[in-house]
Amino acid sequence: MKKILITAVLLTCFLGFSQQKSIDQKVNALLKQMTLEEKIGQLNQYTGDNQATGPITINPNKEAEIKAGLIGSMLNVLGTKYTRQYQELAMQSRLKIPLLFGQDVIHGYKTTFPLPLAEAASWDLEAMELSARIAATEASASGIHWTFAPMVDISRDPRWGRVMEGAGEDTYLGSKIAYARVKGFQGNHLGDINSVMACVKHFAAYGAAVGGRDYNSVDMSDRMLWETYLPPFKSALDAGAATFMNSFNDLNGIPATGNKYLQRDILKGKWNFQGFVVSDWGSIGEMINHGYAKDGKEAALSAITAGSDMDMESNAYRNNLAQLVKEKKVSMALIDDAVKRILRKKFELGLFDDPYKYCNPEREQAALNNPEHRKAARDIAAKSIVLLKNDKGVLPLSKETKTIAFIGPLVKEHKQNMGFWSVELPEVNYDKEIVSQWEGLQNKVENSTKLLYAKGCEIEGDNKDGFAEAIAVANQADVVILSIGERRDMSGEAKSRSSLRLPGVQEDLIKAIQATGKPIVVLINAGRPLIFNWTADNVPAIVYTWWLGTEAGNAIADVLFGDYNPSGKLPMSFPREEGQIPVYYNHFITGRPAPNETATNYVSAYTDLKNSPKFPFGYGLSYTTFTYSDLKLSKNKIKSNETIEVSVTITNSGKVAGEEVVQLYLRDKVGSVVRPIIELKDFQKIKLNAGEAKTIKFSINKEKLSFYNAALEWVAEPGDFDLMIGSSSSDIRLKTAFELEN
């Protein structure tokens, strides 16, 4: 059997090599036939007209340029009808090179899944891969070849609106999620009919924008870059990511779009990335605004030299590359390398064999109306919900509760549940497509239960005229559910906020309802961590629902009534005040640590605020309880070529079945550079029935003990390590130590 498996692996490798060799031969043959203008055309991407966003460049000659082979890719073209129309134009070109169609399929296509940050809260890698798999199935059936996802930027600043698009603050968790999402989008094989190319973004360090302000500068050490911000990109590359997108920010004074160190030295050099790099929207031209290039010609020179292969919407390549080649400022070898990378992907997708491969209307309708997709969306949405507080067991609610008051500006909303960066198809009625929270509650309770509603207030503004009705409704109920939060477009690109408080008078509404003395459950809908200190301190039950997508109402009802026991854990720390930001769990201890978190005797702390977040990384409650015991190590000392096996027993000590995310943290106690106070190095999500116990195992090897030293060498230094197992970064249940010997 072993020989058979080895033979199969070798055969697969040989076939893969042969196929790639064949594709390379086809690419080289085609390249020899192309004029310089046609080559540059492959590096040029335009937006379509049927769902255009952003600062669009108006081009009345778009169709003529496609026929002339001067456009290689388009974005924002939705549906087989339109992708086929544009592809038919491309087939009128001299060489009949097919177009690539890209789209921001960030968290679903027709079926909208939870925001990526919300999905990260599930800590369920299989669920996240499935979410991306379904999104790819629907998008590819609609003529899309390529999604501009996943975003793998590490972010420690919730003021930055794009935190909703990523996996949060932790490098290890973010790397695991990046791998899962790429696998989900691309499936078993690039070119399969239900696969789309992933585009890993934004390369690199965009999540560390100064002040949490979108498009802003980033300034950090190389060691911070390599240790914290680059690993998720490398993980996505290891998963086989077809493309990368560079970022809007400058990094240490050099715009990422024109950054040779990032794109040529690291990505295409050290990491040997064979796919292609696309600019972010207009980012080549924006190097003029940065003050890095004096005009479009200089910007094009900088970008192509640095390794940016495709120009999204700036026209810098289209207008300037030919002249730069004639002036011998750009070599033909640079142009050819970029064109080869793009053509190779078109061949891998099978577009030269069948340009209309992804343009089948029947398959489109079947994929967009698959009921299994909604079932998965409901399950993943429930897994993404985080129970922040549940004093006195207010939750779960009984389905036989006589009267429930459902109050707040988001109770009956439909499209709000989609969140930001969702695809809006013109033919879809989202008021019918999306399950509102009100409808979810109606679907769940018994016919004998009376549901009362009051809006109470708007999301923004200072009008309290609706408070009286809301209070009157609350007084009639046995329990009150309040649904409050952001609008869906308050988190996302260009949605940086200096204040993270609940908008408008929503917290005043909570205070007014709390004063009735009724049991209260607050649902917080948002795309980022918010600050709601009064609510956190005074309301008995708080559920963080993020934005959950198509099945939001049903998933929320599943959790409220205990049909799904919440298992989500926070992928980002929630600050107490904006003045704490950035606040993250894996910080350095400093030379003057604050033992009591407050400044008393010249220690690293605030005089008016605790250092700790309001809710820490990895935190989330359940309707049951879990007991940790019997932490054992296979050995207490290891050499660098050895592994420690870790075992721990988890017992469901409560009365209902539930899932627990068991988190393993390490601390390198002494290093040649200072090390974080605690670092996530592994986790497992397990499900246990009431009273059930399970022993789970982890492995600790040299890789998990390594870090970048001052010389940017990846090393594991001999010394003592603390090993911690817990339910969150601040809820460590068991602790031990071991030594890495010299």
Do the Cβ atoms of 86 and 143 come closer than 8 Å? no
Going by pLDDT thresholds of 50, 70 and 90, the confidence category of residue 60 is confident
Going by pLDDT thresholds of 50, 70 and 90, the confidence category of residue 51 is low
16 has a pLDDT exceeding 70? no
Residue with tokens 């050895």: 642
Which three-class secondary structure string do you get for 136-173?
HHHHHHCCCCEECCCECCCCCCCCCHHHHHCCCCCHHH
- Check residue 619 and report its DSSP letter: -
CA 166, CA 180: separation in Å to the nearest integer?
A: 13
554 vs 14, higher pLDDT:
554
For residue 162, which of 409, 472, 394, 419 has the smallest C-alpha distance? Answer: 419
Per-residue pLDDT tens over the stretch 659-676: 999 999 999 999 999 999
Q: What is the mean pLDDT of residues 169-177?
A: 98
* Residue 534 burial (10 A CB sphere; 0-12, 13-18, 19+): middle
For residue 697, which of 618, 619, 630 has the smallest C-alpha distance? Answer: 630
- Which amino acid is present at 37? E
List the Cα angle 212/214/217 in 5-degree steps: 80
Question: Which runs of consecutive H residues, i.e. helices, occur in 388-499?
Answer: 430-433, 437-444, 467-475
Task: Kindly report the backbone phi and psi dihedral angles of residue 688, in degrees, each rounded to the nearest multiple of 5, phi listed first.
Answer: -130, 135
Going by pLDDT thresholds of 50, 70 and 90, the confidence category of residue 404 is very high
* Residue 741 burial (10 A CB sphere; 0-12, 13-18, 19+): exposed
Cis peptide before 189 (omega within 30 of 0): no
pLDDT of residue 50: 60
Q: What is the mean pLDDT of residues 689-706?
A: 98
Residue with tokens 């702390």: 605
Do the Cβ atoms of 530 and 487 come closer than 8 Å? no
DSSP string for residues in 561-574? TTSS------SSPB
CA 596, CA 611: separation in Å to the nearest integer?
A: 9
Give 192's contacts (C-beta < 8 A, 6+ positions apart). Answer: none
Per-residue pLDDT tens over the stretch 139-157: 999 999 999 999 999 999 9
Task: State the CB neighbour count (10 A cutoff) for residue 462.
Answer: 9
As given in the structure block, the two tokens for residue 525 are 């809908």
Do the Cβ atoms of 667 and 722 come closer than 8 Å? yes
Per-residue pLDDT tens over the stretch 198-225: 999 999 999 999 999 999 999 999 999 9
Q: What percentage of the chain carries pLDDT values higher than 70?
A: 96
CA 204, CA 265: separation in Å to the nearest integer?
A: 13
Q: Could you give the C-alpha distances from 54 to 57, 214, 249, 286, 639, in angstroms and in order?
A: 9, 14, 17, 14, 54
pLDDT of residue 600: 72
Going by pLDDT thresholds of 50, 70 and 90, the confidence category of residue 20 is confident
Which run of H or of E encompasses 388? Answer: strand 386-390
Q: Which of 214, 280, 379, 558 is catalytic?
A: 280
As given in the structure block, the two tokens for residue 462 are 């200072």
Active site residue 280: yes
Give 515's contacts (C-beta < 8 A, 6+ positions apart). Answer: none
Do the Cβ atoms of 418 and 435 come closer than 8 Å? no
As given in the structure block, the two tokens for residue 9 are 């692996």
88 has a pLDDT exceeding 90? yes
Question: Which runs of consecutive H residues, i.e. helices, occur in 493-582?
Answer: 506-514, 533-538, 552-560
pLDDT of residue 21: 75
Q: What is the mean pLDDT of residues 418-424?
A: 96
Do the Cβ atoms of 542 and 636 come closer than 8 Å? no
As given in the structure block, the two tokens for residue 207 are 């999540």
pLDDT of residue 15: 52
For residue 352, which of 25, 113, 689 has the smallest C-alpha distance? Answer: 25
495 has a pLDDT exceeding 90? yes
For residue 83, which of 4, 158, 143 has the smallest C-alpha distance? Answer: 143
CA 137, CA 214: separation in Å to the nearest integer?
A: 31
Per-residue pLDDT tens over the stretch 102-113: 999 999 999 999
Residue with tokens 């990368």: 244
CA 506, CA 462: separation in Å to the nearest integer?
A: 9
Q: What is the largest CA-CA distance in the chain?
A: 81
Per-residue pLDDT tens over the stretch 278-320: 999 999 999 999 999 999 999 999 999 999 999 999 999 999 9
Per-residue pLDDT tens over the stretch 546-568: 999 999 999 999 999 999 999 99
Going by pLDDT thresholds of 50, 70 and 90, the confidence category of residue 633 is very high
Quote the mean pLDDT of the chain.
Answer: 95
Model confidence, pTM: 0.96
Q: What is the mean pLDDT of residues 700-711?
A: 97
pLDDT of residue 481: 98
